[in-house]
Amino acid sequence: MDSTRRPILFVSSPESGLLNPLLTLAGELSGRGVEELWFATDEPRRRDIEAIIGKTPVEFASLGEVVPEMSAVTWDDETYRAVTQPSRFKAHRAVLRHTCDPKLRVEKYHALETAVDKIEPALMIIESMSLFAVELAITKKIPFMLSVPFMPSNVLTSHTPFSKSYTAPGFPVPHSGLPFEMTFTQRITNRVFKLRTLAMFLNPSLSKVMAQDGPLRRELGISDAARGQMARIDNAEAILSYSVTGLDYPFPVPAKMRLVGAMVPPLPQAPGDHRLSDWLDKQDSVVYMGFGTITRLARDQVQSFVEVARRLDGRHQILWKLPSDQQEFLPPVAELPGNLRIETWVPSQFDVLAHPSVKVFFTHAGGNGYHEGLYFGKPLVVRPLWVDCYDQAVRGEDFGISLTLDRPETVDPDDVVDKLTRVIEDGSFSERAQQFALRQREAGGRAAAADLVLASPSLK
**pLDDT tens by residue, 339-365:** 999 999 999 999 999 999 999 999 999
> Quick one: pLDDT at residue 1?
44
Number of Cβ within 10 Å of residue 333's Cβ equals 7
Q: What is the pLDDT of residues 246-299, one digit of tens each?
A: 999 999 999 999 999 999 999 999 998 899 999 999 999 999 999 998 999 999
Percent of the chain's residues with pLDDT above 90: 88
The confidence score (pLDDT) of residue 115 equals: 98
**What pairs with residue 377 in β-bridges?**
none
What is the end-to-end Cα distance of the chain in Å, rounded?
A: 14
Taking the domain 274-442, which CATH number applies? 3.40.50.2000
Q: Which residues pair with 145 in a beta bridge?
A: 125, 238
pLDDT, tens digit (0-9, with 9 covering 90-100), for 394-449: 999 999 999 999 998 889 999 999 999 999 999 999 999 999 999 999 999 999 99
Give yes or no for a cis peptide into 268 (omega within 30° of 0). yes
Strand pairing report for 380-382 and 402-404:
parallel
Q: Which of the pair, 85 or 3, is modelled with greater confidence?
A: 85
Residues 6+ positions from 11 with CB-CB distance below 8 Å:
39, 40, 41, 112, 124, 125, 126, 127, 130, 133
Task: Using alpha carbons, list the distances in angstroms from residue 101 to 80, 184, 207, 209, 363.
Answer: 18, 35, 10, 6, 31
Supply the DSSP symbol for 331: P
Phi, psi of 321 (to 5 degrees): -85, 105
Contact 81, 94 (CB under 8 A): no
Task: Give the C-alpha separation, 201 to 365, whole Å.
Answer: 29
d(CA 287, CA 415): 15
Average pLDDT of the segment spanning 78-93:
93
What are residue 288's phi and psi, to 5 degrees? -95, 120
Rounded to an integer, what is the distance from CA 287 to the centroid of its chain?
Answer: 22
Mean pLDDT of the chain: 95
Neighbours of 179 (CB within 10 A): 16
**Residue 436 CA to its chain's centroid (Å):** 18
Mean pLDDT score, 370-377: 97
Model confidence at 208: pLDDT above 90: no
CB atoms within 10 A of CB 324: 8
Where b means 16+ CB within 10 Å and e means fewer, 239-268 reads: bbbbbbeebbbebebeeebbbbbbbbbeee
Say what the pLDDT of residue 279 is. Answer: 97
Picking from 374, 379, 382, 381, the residue whose alpha carbon sits closest to that of residue 443 is 374
The closest of 14, 24, 11, 9 to 372, measured between CA atoms, is 24
Q: Where in the chain is the domain with CATH 3.40.50.2000?
A: 8-261+444-459, 274-442
Secondary structure (3-state) at 361: strand
Strands 257-259, 340-343: pairing is unpaired
- Report d(CA 235, CA 272) in Å as an integer: 43
Alpha carbons within 13 A on the beta-carbon side of 292: 26
Q: What is the pLDDT of residue 98?
A: 85
For residue 198, pLDDT beyond 60: yes
- CATH match for 8-261+444-459 among 3.40.50.150, 1.10.540.10, 3.40.50.2000, 3.20.20.140: 3.40.50.2000
Q: Whole-angstrom Cα distance, residue 136 to residue 235?
A: 12
Residue type, 221: G
The pTM of the full predicted model, rounded to 2 decimals, is 0.95
Q: What is the DSSP string of 32-46?
A: TT-S-EEEEE-GGGH
Please tell me what DSSP assigns to residue 164. -
